[in-house]
Structure 1
Amino acid sequence: MRYPDGGGLTAEQRKRREEVRMRAVDLFKEGGEVPCIARELRVSEKSVYQWRRTWRTGGREALCSIERDQ
């Protein structure tokens, strides 16, 4: 579920979160293992598994934030 206010994050925090997801995509393409990616990005393995599943079904665009800063 997406929150209309970005989950309480500022625009800068949302941007940073998206950058982390995009870095994860790069690591998926390089064949990185989930535990290593999670450690490098300092996120949970659960998040990385979710991102990878989303990426596999919808590509890089599926991990982009819906909200765009103006």
Structure 2
Amino acid sequence: LGWSLQRPERRAVERDESEIARWIAHEWPRIKKGR
């Protein structure tokens, strides 16, 4: 049929990029400290 696979995962990642960046900024230092 010549259809391209639609990947909702990729779209979700793009959408959450700012949220992920914020999560890293807030949670990652805390996780690092905990270790």
**Structure number, greater radius of gyration:** 2
Instruction: Write 1 or 2 for the structure with the bigger share of helix.
Output: 2
Higher relative CO (Cα under 8 Å, sequence separation at least 6) belongs to 1
Q: TM-score normalised to the size of structure 1?
A: 0.25
